Homo-oligomer: A and B are copies of this chain.
């Protein structure tokens, strides 16, 4: 069994923890017992199932690496660290030849990409690791480019529901607005209807109680001028498992690319992952 070694950074954060749990259930992967953490974290390790994972603070990174250089040459890093730490971590991966996957929206993307391009490694850098969501965005983008004005004369309503704490509107919904415009629909970012009331979310929309604190539900409703034709596209995500699973598929993709060789400086996107798996 040729399992892929991954070092999941960002413990004790929720996403890092979830990626590790999914990886431990997946025989494609072997989780290394180390994780980069923040300077403010007091724990020195985190227990996940039967595995104890040591936390490495920023000032311990280099000494850690020199003690594990053989281990790390064949390891892929997964970065779910704090947005304030992302840039320095990615720079560190590049300097120390650690291929990596990063799937958050934090950090300076331009700088991260440049660091990879000037390095000996390759990486997957994506704002969203939800494979099927990214695929849906790509479908709409394809339609907008190939059939501009397809929905001329139609109206559109965009509704999304997220946990109470989320102040701005859905980034996924906003990314689709210009595409819907190209399809002939009159819509602006400000027209996105945001539901943040947990009572309405549960009783009217049907969001399960256990996911009121973490969900991303979206519905796009298109209606013809004479009201006789309606299209509706819905994608409802509860919790974060879709992103953890997508992250692991991105790791597998990167592993294949590394085995193929000749990938120094390559930055891959989630679309590459979708096409390549």
A118 at the interface (CB under 8 A from B): no
Residue of B nearest to A236 (CB): B230
Contacts of A190 in B (CB 8 A): none
Instruction: Flag if A275 contacts B146 (CB, 8 Å).
Output: yes
24 intermolecular pairs with C-beta atoms under 8 Å apart: A130-B229, A132-B154, A132-B222, A132-B231, A135-B143, A135-B150, A136-B231, A138-B143, A139-B140, A139-B143, A142-B146, A146-B275, A147-B274, A147-B275, A211-B228, A228-B242, A229-B235, A229-B236, A229-B237, A229-B241, A230-B235, A230-B236, A231-B234, A233-B234
Residue of B nearest to A234 (CB): B232
A149 at the interface (CB under 8 A from B): yes
A151 at the interface (CB under 8 A from B): yes
Considering only residues 139-167 of chain A, those with a C-beta below 8 Å from chain B are 139-140, 142-143, 146-147, 149-151, 154
Residue of B nearest to A237 (CB): B229
Known: A150-B131, A231-B136. A224 touches B236 (CB 8 A): no
User: Could you say which of B143, B146, B226, B241 contacts A228, with CB atoms under 8 Å apart?
Assistant: B241
CB distance from A21 to the nearest CB of B (A): 12
Residue of B nearest to A211 (CB): B228
CB distance from A106 to the nearest CB of B (A): 23
Instruction: Flag if B224 contacts A242 (CB, 8 Å).
Output: yes
A1 at the interface (CB under 8 A from B): no
Instruction: Flag if A231 contacts B241 (CB, 8 Å).
Output: no
Considering only residues 236-254 of chain A, those with a C-beta below 8 Å from chain B are 236-239, 241-242
Q: How far is the CA of A146 from the CA of B138 in the complex (A)?
A: 10
Per-residue interface assignment for chain A, residues 112 to 150, with 1 indicating a CB less than 8 Å from any chain B CB and 0 otherwise: 000000000000000000111001101110110011011
CB distance from A117 to the nearest CB of B (A): 25
A71 at the interface (CB under 8 A from B): no
Residue of B nearest to A142 (CB): B142
Contacts of A224 in B (CB 8 A): 132, 241-242
Instruction: Flag if A149 contacts B277 (CB, 8 Å).
Output: yes
Contacts of A135 in B (CB 8 A): 143, 147, 150
CB distance from A165 to the nearest CB of B (A): 19
CB distance from A128 to the nearest CB of B (A): 13
Considering only residues 91-129 of chain A, those with a C-beta below 8 Å from chain B are none
Q: How far is the CA of A135 from the CA of B229 in the complex (A)?
A: 14
Residue of B nearest to A277 (CB): B149
Instruction: Flag if A229 contacts B132 (CB, 8 Å).
Output: yes
CB distance from A219 to the nearest CB of B (A): 8
Residue of B nearest to A276 (CB): B147
Known: A139-B139, A228-B242, A232-B236. 20 other contacts (CB 8 A): A132-B229, A132-B231, A136-B231, A138-B146, A138-B147, A139-B140, A139-B142, A139-B143, A142-B146, A146-B274, A146-B275, A147-B274, A147-B275, A150-B274, A224-B242, A228-B239, A230-B236, A231-B235, A232-B235, A233-B234
